[in-house]
Structure 1
Amino acid sequence: MTSPPDRLLRRLEWRLGRRLDGRLQGNYRTVWHGAGIDFTDLRLYSAEDDVRHIDWNVTARLDEPYVRQYTEDRELTAWLVIDRSASMRFGREKGKESTATELAVAIARLVSRGGNRVGAILFDNLSHRVIPPRGGRDQVLRIAGELLRPAPRGKPGATTDLSAMLHLAATTTAKRRSLVFVMSDFIGDPGWDRPLARLTHRHEVVVVRVVDPAEVELPDLGMILVEDAETGEQLLVDTSDPLLRGRLAEQAGAREDELAAGMRRAGVSAQRITTDQDMLTVLVDMVSRSGRDRR
């Protein structure tokens, strides 16, 4: 009898094979590349170059900007940084936590098929779990098994410390430049943009923001009891009240603007996935965008 992680991985592998194989390039089975460290040559700077690669000593001697070129390391180390706080359990059908789990396992399998290593950092307010990076299908099964375990229940009144999650990611991944996927609903304490910016300075970071449609537009369900997943506060509301729905829509819009501003300050563009979307369609879009960015 197969285990739940194995059943999940087999289902995703079948769908990955059908949807993504034609989009991957050559024998190197992932569009995400490693980051090389071996210096090979110098060339004149062009507008598309990363300014961090400018060789300032040579530039000063020749009075023209030159950049250092490196041999690309085809081995990739990827990290999955996954928010498992209480708010991630929200969702009417397939919740945010389930959506993040499926996407994380699919990414882990896609990356590992190129012979690369993948690790995971599972974070909540009570504890965190670090799975060191390794290669192979067994490693993906290990990550899937940890994600399928129920996350511990947080203390009432506590909100998610997103800064702590991103600081943990930065310290855990400090040894080697990596590809880091950050998956969260970004519901929690403010101030996360600075540690996210520090993480992006060191690594290639892909931010995936997981959203449930009911968080953006409240459905008309009549009188319901709503509960704040982070604080445990409960409130009886009339969802058919147009004034209430209007106020909530304004608040949701303001929060979207605030999150977008935070992402801009951190220098990243977040990939938004909703719980009613097809997860592999989102993954195909991420692969396509990554391929375009590298041209």
Structure 2
Amino acid sequence: MASAPDRLLRRLEWQVLRRLDGRLQGSYRTVFRGAGIDFADLREYTPEDDVRHIDWNVTARLDEPFVRQYTEDREITVWLVLDLSASMRFGGAERGKDSVLTELAVCLARLFTRGGNRVGAVLFDNRIQRVVPARTGRTHVLQLAHEITRTAGLAAAQRGGPGTTTDVDGMLRLAAATARRRGLVFVISDFMGEDVGWESSLTRLTVRHEVVAVRVVDPMELELPDLGLVVVEDAETGEQVLVDTSEPLFRQRLRAEVDAREAAVSGAMRRAGVTAHRIGTDQDPLEALVAMVRRSKRSGGAAHRGLRVESGGRSEAEDA
């Protein structure tokens, strides 16, 4: 009998990847000149050049040695930085933020590995941190899905009492220490914390890598419905408060706090120079992923350079 991660991967391949075929796939290329098969340009020969690259026809016509340059084909290494903290377990009975994170991670991993690219992951909780080495292939994606599920279960089992808010700064520092070679980094998190002290770590991460931040949110975190008297518990600290959700002053204060938090997170992303996207638990992952890439294409952001959607159905991925 197939395991839950195997069923998830099969479902995503059938429902998502097949529908994305021709829209989010292709080879990865750099803007650098080097070894490859596609001719790019000609330039004058220098003593450091390989004589095998001399274009003898052009050299004979111009009476000066010229060498051929080619577009260099390179694989890209993708890192998925995944927030498995307690706040990511928030959401409805059928679909929480952790479910969305898992689906997005597995879908992105399968999309990139299909082109022969390597995908690794940093799984982060305040108490548990695991690194899945970057590899390629469908089997690796299945192992990654198993590891996400297993680590999330271990993290949840170790929360026996009040804790602290997510150490987003620590998560980003671990990602920077793990991904040493230049690549494409997806940070999937709700970025819930006491403040945005992680901004400097995010900025440092962008120095070496192309970074795309994907914020997973639940609609109830943005607009609390009128439920009367309820006990609200902070998933990470364990603090409980009895509130009247129908009280106008409470709703006004909550709205102001949400707006301030959203503005702070958006501002930190913008100052760090990171392409940021927000995906709700009530959204279809396919549509959210396609919209994310299209938005990056319009803005010329990092996700556009990682996955480019072209008109006419054909797509190509680029290595920055």
TM-score by length of 1: 0.83
Q: Give the aligned partner of residue 230 of structure 1.
A: 236
In the TM superposition, residue 237 of structure 1 has moved relative to its aligned partner by: 1.1
SS in 2 for 1:80: strand
Instruction: Tell me which of 217, 221, 226 is aligned to 1:220.
Output: 226
Q: Give the aligned partner of residue 285 of structure 1.
A: 291
**Correspondence 1:89-104 to 2 at 5 A:** 89-93=89-93, 94-104=95-105
In the TM superposition, residue 157 of structure 1 has moved relative to its aligned partner by: 3.3
Unaligned runs of 5+ residues in structure 1 are: 44-68
Q: 4+ residue runs of structure 1 moved beyond 6 angstroms?
A: 40-43
Look up the equivalent residue of 1:148 and give its one-letter code.
Answer: T
| Residue 179 of structure 2 corresponds to residue 180 of structure 1 | no
For 1:126 and 1:84, locate their aligned partners in 2 and report how far apart those are by CA, in whole Å.
10
For 1:134 and 1:18, locate their aligned partners in 2 and report how far apart those are by CA, in whole Å.
22
For 2:204 and 2:41, locate their aligned partners in 1 and report how far apart those are by CA, in whole Å.
27
**Correspondence 1:262-281 to 2 at 5 A:** 262-281=268-287
More displaced 10-residue stretch of structure 1: 284-293 or 11-20:
284-293
State the number of aligned residues: 264
For 1:248 and 1:221, locate their aligned partners in 2 and report how far apart those are by CA, in whole Å.
14
Larger radius of gyration: 2
SS in 2 for 1:183: strand
Given the superposition, is the C-alpha separation of residues 168 and 71 from structure 1 closer, same or farther in structure 2, using an over 3 Å criterion? farther
For 2:169 and 2:257, locate their aligned partners in 1 and report how far apart those are by CA, in whole Å.
23
**Correspondence 1:187-266 to 2 at 5 A:** 187-189=192-194, 190-266=196-272
Q: Give the aligned partner of residue 166 of structure 1.
A: 172
Given the superposition, is the C-alpha separation of residues 34 and 83 from structure 1 closer, same or farther in structure 2, using an over 3 Å criterion? farther
Percent of aligned pairs sharing the same letter: 62
For 1:128 and 1:249, locate their aligned partners in 2 and report how far apart those are by CA, in whole Å.
34
For 1:121 and 1:242, locate their aligned partners in 2 and report how far apart those are by CA, in whole Å.
42
Look up the equivalent residue of 1:284 and give its one-letter code.
Answer: V
More displaced 10-residue stretch of structure 1: 71-80 or 216-225:
71-80
Q: Give the aligned partner of residue 117 of structure 1.
A: 118
Given the superposition, is the C-alpha separation of residues 170 and 211 from structure 1 closer, same or farther in structure 2, using an over 3 Å criterion? same
Instruction: Give deviations 1:67-114, integer Å, cap 9, x for gaps.
Output: xx9944331111100011111111124111111111100000111111
Given the superposition, is the C-alpha separation of residues 106 and 5 from structure 1 closer, same or farther in structure 2, using an over 3 Å criterion? same
TM-score by length of 2: 0.77
| Residue 127 of structure 2 corresponds to residue 126 of structure 1 | yes
For 1:100 and 1:270, locate their aligned partners in 2 and report how far apart those are by CA, in whole Å.
15
Look up the equivalent residue of 2:185 and give its one-letter code.
Answer: V
Q: Give the aligned partner of residue 13 of structure 1.
A: 13
For 2:106 and 2:209, locate their aligned partners in 1 and report how far apart those are by CA, in whole Å.
21
Kept in 1, the 8 Å contact 2:279–2:288? The answer is yes
In the TM superposition, residue 42 of structure 1 has moved relative to its aligned partner by: 10
Given the superposition, is the C-alpha separation of residues 171 and 70 from structure 1 closer, same or farther in structure 2, using an over 3 Å criterion? farther
Unaligned runs of 5+ residues in structure 2 are: 43-68, 309-320
Kept in 2, the 8 Å contact 1:35–1:76? The answer is no
For 1:106 and 1:237, locate their aligned partners in 2 and report how far apart those are by CA, in whole Å.
39
Q: Give the aligned partner of residue 49 of structure 2.
A: none
In the TM superposition, residue 281 of structure 1 has moved relative to its aligned partner by: 0.6
| Residue 75 of structure 2 corresponds to residue 75 of structure 1 | yes
In the TM superposition, residue 287 of structure 1 has moved relative to its aligned partner by: 3.1
Instruction: Give deviations 1:28-67, integer Å, cap 9, x for gaps.
Output: 26xxx35576668999xxxxxxxxxxxxxxxxxxxxxxxx
For 2:29 and 2:16, locate their aligned partners in 1 and report how far apart those are by CA, in whole Å.
22
SS in 2 for 1:22: coil
Given the superposition, is the C-alpha separation of residues 262 and 17 from structure 1 closer, same or farther in structure 2, using an over 3 Å criterion? closer
Instruction: Give deviations 1:187-230, integer Å, cap 9, x for gaps.
Output: 12531111111111101111101111111111111111110011
Q: Give the aligned partner of residue 52 of structure 1.
A: none
In the TM superposition, residue 291 of structure 1 has moved relative to its aligned partner by: 4.8
In the TM superposition, residue 22 of structure 1 has moved relative to its aligned partner by: 2.9
Q: Give the aligned partner of residue 47 of structure 1.
A: none
For 1:72 and 1:230, locate their aligned partners in 2 and report how far apart those are by CA, in whole Å.
47
Kept in 2, the 8 Å contact 1:88–1:97? The answer is yes
In the TM superposition, residue 259 of structure 1 has moved relative to its aligned partner by: 0.7
In the TM superposition, residue 127 of structure 1 has moved relative to its aligned partner by: 1.6
For 1:70 and 1:212, locate their aligned partners in 2 and report how far apart those are by CA, in whole Å.
47
For 2:162 and 2:71, locate their aligned partners in 1 and report how far apart those are by CA, in whole Å.
51
